[in-house]
Each structure stands twice: as C-alpha cells, then as structure tokens.
C-alpha cells in the first residue's frame, strides 16, 4: 500500500517538544543518556526514524494494518513528550543531582543478600531450563514447552528480569572489572537465547549510563547517535536470528545485509502500526482505571484471588487487524495506546506527566541509597522509564517488571547509622 513519505507541517512541528527535551536533558550529569534524553530519543527512533526506514519502499502491512500517513501518530507522540517535558521541568532539581558523588553517610551494601539474590536468579533459570522453557545450549532438537502451564511459570520467568539489576550492581561494585564483564557476557548470552531484546537493551544502556556516571564522562550527541545506530543494527540482527526459548538460529546470518539490518525491524515495528491505527480511528469507550486495577490485582497470588480481573482492554490492540492470527500473535503497543484507551487524547499528556513525574520522584528516592546502589538505580531509570515503559505500554507489565528491576537495588542498600 502507498505511504505518504513526505513529512507534513504538523509532523515537523511535533518535533519541537522532542528537540527541547533533548537539548535540556544534555545538561544533566548523565548527559545524552539522562531520563529526558532517552525518552526523547526513544520517541525519535520509534515514531520518526523507524517509519522512515521501514516504509521507504512502501507499506507491506502488519497483520492487516497499513499506514498511509503518520501525522496523527506524530501528534500523539508530541502530546506524550509535552506531558513528560512538564514533569521533567517540575522535577528539574531532582534530575540535576549527581548520584556518583561520594557522601560521608553513604551507608553500606548488603553483600550476603546480594549473593542470595544471585542464587535465587540462577535457580529460577535452572527451573526454566529443566521444564523445557529455555534452550540455553542452542540444541537443534530442543522442544519448547511454551503451552504447558505457562501461567504457573510466569513468576519464575522473572528470574531473567532479576538478573538485570544484579548484573549492573556487579559491574558498579567491581568498577567494570574483568570478572564483572564476564558476568555481563554470560547474562547477555542467556538473554539472547531467551529471545527478548528489551532486557538486552535495558541492561546495556544502564551499563553505559553507569559507566558514564562513575567516570564523569558526559555522553554527547555524537556519541549517543552512534550508540543508537548501533543499537538499531544489533536489535534487527537479534530479531533475525532469535527463536523464543529455542535459542539462536544462525542459519539466517548469511542473509543479513546492511539494508536489512537498518530497515527490518520485524515485530518491533508492530507497535507503530498499533499506535497509528488507534490515532487514525475513533476510539472505543474509555477503559478508565482498568489498567491500574489489573496491574495491582496481578500482585495478589491467584490461589488467594482466583477470579481477579484480567486485562480485557488489550483486545483493542488488535482492532483493525484482518489476519486470523492476530489474537495469537502477542501484539505489543506503546504506552501511548493504553493512554488513548484510558482517557482519550487529553489523557495522553496528563498521564505522561503523571508517569514521568513519578519516575522523577522515584529517582529522588534512589538518590538516598548507598553509592553503588544509587548509581545502579539512576542508571536503570532512563532505560526502564524512558525506553521500556514507553515502548511496552501495559501498566501491569511495567509494574511487575519494575519491582524486579528496582527492588534489588533498594533492598541491597544499607543506610548509614549516622
């Protein structure tokens, strides 16, 4: 289907909040990898750069969806960034703190609990391997047991997420020593075998941010542009060779060309289709507080609340898709879509202000931790809230993963008695 590739005046104007946020965020201690900059860069890559590259030769479609114009998509993205920008401005003093500064009352680190958490994470991965949910050795005859009681192993699968902060803390505590880099390599190999790109991206981005904070090196626009380009190529390469749970399939490496690495985003580009459809068509009745109710209800064990509410609003993400496999395709959507379905167009900037205001305040809470923990926590904030939360827009998923990403960082910090 034809695609109107020329940007409209509205699309160009929608870049104003993006540029303003990035320009201001560069002055923060983390520079171009601060929360405001990562938020702006994520929006730029997903809703401007990716469409330009993926749709350059026309729109091949996605499960029956097609894109003819991106003007409304860009408008939603601008409203989202406008709300986020106001939240950043309201919390500018908090975001301007330098977590790497040494303090007299820095406190200590709970080393024994740190080791115990590693044992739990490794045990969780071992259970997933033993139950046929991770082909860690990449065996060709491996049979994945994805459909056999997956709900019972949803909590165990958080062992992967738990490894993100634990690996980052190992890097920070050992000042990126050879042993900590080896741990990073092993964990990245596991993540690659699992097939979820977001964990790899969050961990690598957080590691880079932590290194910048500890070394006092401000990452500028040129460096971050090169890093973003490298991340895009790596993400497309991983997407081409990954097989969920079955490990890496290297048979497709020979077909990888530079053009494909720069433009073949696979399912990652699906969130743009979902947002484009939601922005271009009349919205359904608002779902109001359903995402928040479902999110907190999921924290209650099923045996205590067997009939707890489920996220029925997720069925709207496949609206407009004509493919008979759309309901089984695991369709993702950016946070903007959930906001649109909650409170309409006006809800986008308001909820963005709420979420990023809370994220900024949370960074202030992390600033009260011991030095290693607050560096790790601050390094995770941009990657998790600026990238992950924006592109994986299910509140219940963000809440659950956030507990395992930031929980260890907070629990391992021992406050000074002073």
DSSP-assigned letters across all residues of 229-296: HHHHHHHHHHHHHEETTTEE-GGGGGG--HHHHHH--GGGGHHHHHHHHHHHS---S--TTHHHHHHH
pLDDT tens-place string over residues 294-341: 999 888 877 778 888 888 888 888 887 877 676 666 678 899 999 999
Q: Which residue has the higher pLDDT, 281 or 197?
A: 281
Contact 277, 320 (CB under 8 A): yes
**Residue 304: CB atoms within 10 Å:** 7
Give the contacts of 156 (CB within 8 A, at least 6 positions apart): 124, 127, 128
pLDDT tens-place string over residues 184-225: 999 998 888 887 778 888 999 999 899 988 887 777 777 777
Q: Which of 76-80, 220-224, 334-338, 403-407 has the lowest mean pLDDT?
A: 220-224
Judge whether residue 363 has pLDDT over 70.
yes
Can you tell me the distance from the alpha carbon of 400 to that of 386, in angstroms, rounded to the nearest whole number?
A: 17
Give the contacts of 175 (CB within 8 A, at least 6 positions apart): 214
Phi/psi at 305 (5° precision): -140, 75
Q: How confident is the model at residue 4 (pLDDT cuts 50, 70, 90)?
A: low
Top mean-pLDDT range of 107-121, 124-138, 204-218, 243-257: 107-121
Phi/psi at 109 (5° precision): -125, 135
Contact 216, 99 (CB under 8 A): no
Q: What is the DSSP string of 123-138?
A: HHHHHHHHTTS--TT-
**Residue burial 222-252, b: 16+ Cβ < 10 Å; e: rest:** ebbeebbeebbeebbbbbbbbeebbbbeeee
Contact 88, 29 (CB under 8 A): no
Judge whether residue 92 has pLDDT over 70.
yes
The residue assigned the tokens 């923990």 is 373
Mean pLDDT of the chain: 83
Angstrom distances, CA of residue 259 to CA of 49, 233, 237, 265, 272: 14, 10, 11, 11, 20
Angstrom distances, CA of residue 79 to CA of 49, 69, 154, 386: 18, 18, 34, 15
Can you tell me the distance from the alpha carbon of 162 to that of 404, in angstroms, rounded to the nearest whole number?
A: 5
Segment 102-108 mean pLDDT: 77
Question: Beta-strand (E) ranges in 272-405?
Answer: none
pLDDT at position 319: 81
Judge whether residue 257 has pLDDT over 60.
no
Residue 20's Cβ-side half-sphere holds a number of Cα atoms within 13 Å equal to: 14
Contact 267, 242 (CB under 8 A): no
Q: How confident is the model at residue 392 (pLDDT cuts 50, 70, 90)?
A: confident
- In this prediction the pTM is 0.88
Contact 279, 75 (CB under 8 A): yes
Strand partners, 413: 109
Q: Give me the count of residues in the chain.
A: 418
Segment 275-302 mean pLDDT: 89
Instruction: Name the DSSP class of 385.
Output: I
Angstrom distances, CA of residue 340 to CA of 76, 138, 343, 345: 9, 41, 6, 6
Segment 77-84 mean pLDDT: 97
The residue assigned the tokens 């406050």 is 415
Strand partners, 320: none
pLDDT at position 418: 42
Contact 22, 39 (CB under 8 A): no
Q: How confident is the model at residue 417 (pLDDT cuts 50, 70, 90)?
A: very low
Can you tell me the distance from the alpha carbon of 271 to that of 389, in angstroms, rounded to the nearest whole number?
A: 13
Report how far Cα 31 is from the mean position of its chain's Cα atoms: 19
Listed in sequence order, the DSSP H helices in 45-157 are 50-54, 71-90, 92-95, 111-130
Instruction: Name the DSSP class of 313.
Output: G
Can you tell me the distance from the alpha carbon of 91 to that of 353, in angstroms, rounded to the nearest whole number?
A: 11
């Amino acid at each position: 289907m034809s695609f109107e590739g020329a940007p409209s005046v509205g699309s160009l104007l929608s870049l104003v909040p993006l540029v303003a946020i990035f320009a201001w965020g560069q002055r923060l201690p983390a520079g171009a990898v601060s929360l405001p900059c990562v938020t702006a860069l994520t929006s730029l890559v997903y809703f401007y750069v990716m469409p330009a590259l993926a749709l350059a030769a026309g729109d091949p479609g996605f499960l029956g969806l097609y894109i003819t114009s991106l003007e409304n998509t860009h408008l939603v993205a601008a409203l989202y960034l406008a709300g986020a920008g106001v939240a950043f401005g309201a919390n500018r003093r908090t975001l301007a703190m330098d977590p790497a500064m040494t303090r007299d009352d820095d406190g200590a680190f709970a080393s024994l609990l740190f080791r115990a958490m590693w044992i739990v994470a490794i045990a969780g991965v071992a259970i997933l391997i033993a139950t046929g949910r991770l082909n860690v050795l990449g065996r060709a005859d491996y049979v994945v047991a994805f459909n056999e009681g997956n709900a019972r192993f949803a909590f165990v699968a958080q062992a992967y997420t738990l490894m993100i902060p634990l690996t980052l803390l190992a890097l920070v505590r050992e000042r990126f020593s050879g042993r900590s880099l080896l741990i990073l390599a092993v964990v990245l190999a596991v993540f690659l075998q699992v097939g979820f790109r977001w964990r790899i991206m969050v961990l690598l981005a957080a590691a880079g941010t932590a290194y910048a904070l500890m070394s006092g090196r401000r990452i500028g626009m040129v460096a971050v542009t090169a890093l973003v380009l490298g991340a895009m190529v790596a993400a497309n390469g991983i997407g081409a060779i990954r097989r969920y749970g079955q490990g890496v399939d290297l048979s497709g490496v020979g077909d990888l060309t530079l053009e494909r690495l720069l433009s073949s985003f696979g399912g990652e580009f699906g969130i743009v289709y979902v947002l484009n459809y939601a922005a271009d068509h009349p919205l359904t009745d608002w779902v109001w507080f359903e995402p928040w109710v479902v999110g907190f209800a999921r924290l209650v064990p099923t045996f205590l609340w067997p009939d707890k509410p489920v996220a029925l609003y997720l069925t709207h993400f496949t609206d407009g898709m004509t493919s008979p496999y759309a309901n089984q395709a695991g369709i993702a959507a950016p946070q903007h879509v959930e906001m649109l379905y909650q409170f309409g167009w006006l809800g986008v900037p308001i909820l963005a202000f709420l979420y990023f205001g809370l994220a900024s305040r949370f960074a202030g809470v992390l600033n009260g931790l011991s030095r290693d923990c607050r560096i790790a926590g601050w390094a995770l904030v941009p990657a998790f809230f600026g990238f992950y939360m924006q592109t994986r827009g299910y509140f219940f998923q963000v809440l659950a993963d956030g507990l395992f990403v930031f929980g260890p960082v907070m629990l391992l910090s021992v406050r000074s008695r002073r």
